[in-house]
Amino acid sequence: MKNKMVKTGILLGVSIFSVVFFHGKTIANNTMSKVISINDTEVWEEIKQENGVKVYYTLVEENGNTFLKLKFENTTNTVINFNWTLKNNTEVIVTEKTNKIEAGQSIEIYDATMLIPFQNGDSFQNYSILISKF
């Protein structure tokens, strides 16, 4: 009887240890894989720096379509209020938009209300971004 209780105690102890130990490992592994997948999904290319604002772009695919995603980074130590316009050759794609960026911060422009299509054969060299501070 005593031998059976000792075995049961050991088995219970090992079971609790395993659950606690492996549960912690699972959480750590899941967190790490999420961080890695976030960093691997977007590769930004710097295209312009003007008036203390760096401009980057990346391409995003959704439902078989490719769209342009823009990022504006404030490289100064002060808040920047600015207007921007995006053109493809002479065609205005995004009419003058106003944005504000805190010092040393960045903003990304990409949402369902302002998708910028990027078709096969398009080249970002055909696009131009005009930036003016106010």
pLDDT in tens, 47-80: 899 889 999 999 988 888 888 899 999 999 999 9
Domain ranges of the chain: 1-41, 45-133
pTM above 0.85, yes or no: no
Handedness of CA 50, 52, 58, 62 (dihedral sign): negative
Q: How do the residues of the chain divide into helix, strand and coil, expressed in percent and rounded to 5?
A: 30, 45, 25
Hey, what CATH class is 45-133 in?
mainly beta
